[in-house]
Chains A and B, each alone.
Chain A
Amino acid sequence: MKRRRFLRDAAGAGLALGSGLASLSAAPPLPGRDSDLSRVEAKYYRKLPDREIECLLCPRLCRLGDRERGYCGVRENVGGTYITLVYGKVCSFNVDPIEKKPFFHFLPGTPALSVATVGCNVNCKFCQNWEISQVRPEQVAHRDMSPEAVARAAAEVRYPSIAYTYTEPTVFIEYMMDTAAAARKRNVRSVVVTGGHINPEPLRDLLEAVDAVKVDLKGFTQDFYTKYVRGELRPVLDAIRAVGRSPAWLEIVYLVIPTLNDREALIRKMAGWVRDEVGTDVPVHFSRFMPMYLLKNLPPTPVSTLERAREAALDEGLKFVYVGNVPGHPAENTFCPGCGQTVIERAGYRVRETHIEKGRCDKCGETIAGVWT
């Protein structure tokens, strides 16, 4: 996967010296890089006696003493006040096709200004971006960008949306919500790419601020979430349900990992749950796994497995089911559930042709669910 980070891991970049002590002595230690972390008070926590706090942002409910950080590594108890260390500290800043998130039914063919800070509240063994998600803010170089600066950057070049992505936006929720508010004033929309490991109250607030949410449903058993995600499945399902019942547009990605979460019965169960809980119009993307991070012992997902998963989900009644991370695959296209016409033809992340007019198939008039303008 191509990641265009404008800044690389500063710790890695600093390894100019040899490994011997003699060479180290040539370069006296510099001041720590943590001096410019943000000190903005976090939301979603409660104070406890003896300067302790309990974080209420995600299902972990980290209980922290003074000077301790949560599981995410980016929120710290400082003398009984909980602060976010990453407010406005952008480690990745790119322009991506919105299809890369992926959103296939939300402003297709448009660019999304994509931002991230470091941090994540789970630890997936197959993480694609672990060098920025599974680190602490001191360990990665960042750029200071106020919410207003991000919104202005998108508006000035007429990007229709800002995507909070690459890492886990939940952990920088304060920055995300302020940026989304600034963007909305400029008619720029906000889309979130998340694992959905978030508590109901912050999610409720977030859904008032943003326009679309893509949830990575990483498996469909608690056992999988325990072993490979280090998180809880139930809150993720609750989050999907909450997004599905909100005005925000919802899409779901299911990364299919050979032998771990690819059984057809499981896929059918998941698809049936989506159908029953959030409806058949919600797009589901079956993405191809590539070995990386801590899960290198498995092969890439066979394309045939993804195709079988897609067939099973369609059979369960879902209308828009895609195959992802397989450039050029026909199932990247959107087909009209009424007449079967290709209504959006894609080539990788590019949209080549669209046959949707005012939200309907231009051949048969069938409504195609999505946000098209």
Chain B
Amino acid sequence: MGASRVVIVRAPGLWTSSSGCADPSAVTNMFRRGFALLTGEKSDRQALSTVFRPDDRVGIKVNTLGGKVLTTGPDVSLPLAAWLAANGLQEQNLIVWDRTNRELREAGYRLSSGRGGPRVFGTDAEGAGYAPELVAHLSVGSLFSRIQTDLVTASVSLAVLKDHGLAGVTAGMKNYFGAIHNPNKYHDSRCDPFVAEVFDAPPVKPKHRVSILDALVVQYHRGPSFHPQWAEPFGGLIFSLDPVAADTVGREVIERLRAAKGLPSLAEEGREPAYLATAERMGLGRADPGGIEIIEERLP
């Protein structure tokens, strides 16, 4: 079995001076390069065809808990949706989603039922909600968003990369806590084994196709809340088909930033992200750095 590939694409100059948001064309380039390096395919369309079927209904699960500042914003997710639509997927089959409409709005999204552009809405939107059947899986018992269970056939975890006071880091796997009705019940024991078990649950794992960590701004300390003094404009996106490897590399990015700022490691703070090893033991992917191939590219 080969190594799990993780691609880091950085574009430090991606922010527009006028709005402070990421420039959509720069972000699109990052997606283009990320998928190309990840799949080894030369054309955008071929790269995407290795990940999605043309008729897939794709859920792009964002993380908008951090409000406007520390969130997977529309300046990242909408260029992804547009690029997917331009390369073989149907625009009306794309959903950008999170837990609630309020959180999406606060993060800068304009809610949309899909007339001209991807659909954007929360689980609490009319017609969505939680699936009525309780999913009991290992130590998890939750209702899952109908967006995840019923509306999509393929799932992208487009998560903000952050330090997390309990889990150690929050990235692509923990992003699916936003797909269940009771995430507050899974933060004890450093969120372990719950992060891995929610991901492993039937509504998530079979549909998950790719993790993309939004590391444009990385909260490397005292997360998941926003603290500007510990937020770094990293300017990166991290891609992997292996959800555990993606989070493992995300963790390494946080560790690098912490070390550069003279902060102790997560392990030294007693916040080792235990869920990564658990996820590896469950066969969800690679947490051992020796089994991960990292490709890093810097765009202008």
Q: Which residue numbers of A lie inside 8 Å of B, CB to CB?
A: 10-12, 14-17, 19-21, 23-35, 50-52, 60, 63, 65-73, 123, 125, 130, 134-136, 138-139, 230, 293-294, 296
Contact = CB atoms under 8 A, between A and B. Distances in A.
A70 B151 contact: no
A32 B102 contact: yes
Contacts of A27: 113, 126-127
A233 to B, nearest CB: 16
Contacts of A296: 136
Contacts of A134: 182, 185
B67 A67 contact: yes
B106 to A, nearest CB: 10
B134 interface: yes
B119 A24 contact: yes
B124 A19 contact: no
11 contacts: A11-B130, A14-B127, A24-B113, A29-B122, A30-B101, A32-B101, A32-B103, A67-B225, A72-B184, A139-B130, A294-B136
Contact of A65 (B57, B122, B188, B224): B224
Nearest to B57: A21
Contacts of B225: 50-52, 65-68
Given A63-B165, A67-B225, A14 B184 contact: no
A29 B113 contact: yes
Given A25-B113, A50-B222, A67-B225, A15 B124 contact: no
A28 B124 contact: no
Contact of B127 (A23, A51, A63, A73): A23
Nearest to A28: B113
Contacts of B124: 11, 32-34, 138-139
B155 interface: no
B92 interface: yes
B280 to A, nearest CB: 24
A19 B130 CA distance: 12
B101 A135 contact: no
A126 B279 CA distance: 27
A73 B182 CA distance: 8
B226 interface: yes
A185 to B, nearest CB: 35
Nearest to A122: B185
B34 interface: no
Contacts of B114: 21, 24-25
A138 B100 contact: yes
A65 B223 contact: yes
Contacts of B134: 130, 293-294
A23 B93 CA distance: 12
Contacts of B101: 29-32
Contacts of A14: 126-129
Contacts of B128: 14, 24, 29
B65 interface: yes
Interface string B100-127: 1111010000011111000101111111
Given A21-B151, A27-B127, A30-B126, A71 B141 contact: no
A67 B102 CA distance: 13
B126 A11 contact: no
A50 B227 contact: yes
A69 B182 CA distance: 11
B130 A35 contact: no
Contacts of B113: 24-25, 27-29
Contact of A30 (B112, B125, B227): B125
A17 B130 CA distance: 13
B93 A21 contact: yes
Nearest to B166: A63
Given A19-B151, A69-B184, A34 B102 contact: yes
B181 interface: yes
A19 B147 CA distance: 9
Contacts of B224: 65, 68
A242 B65 CA distance: 39
Given A14-B126, A29-B125, A66-B226, 4 more contacts: A17-B127, A28-B111, A67-B66, A136-B184
Interface string B215-229: 000000011111100
Given A12-B132, A138-B100, A139-B130, A65 B165 contact: yes
A153 to B, nearest CB: 30
A362 B165 CA distance: 62
Contacts of B281: none
B261 interface: no
A32 B185 contact: no
A61 B195 CA distance: 21
Residue from B95, B103, B222, B225 whose CB has the most chain A CB atoms within 10 Å: B225
A91 to B, nearest CB: 14
B146 interface: yes
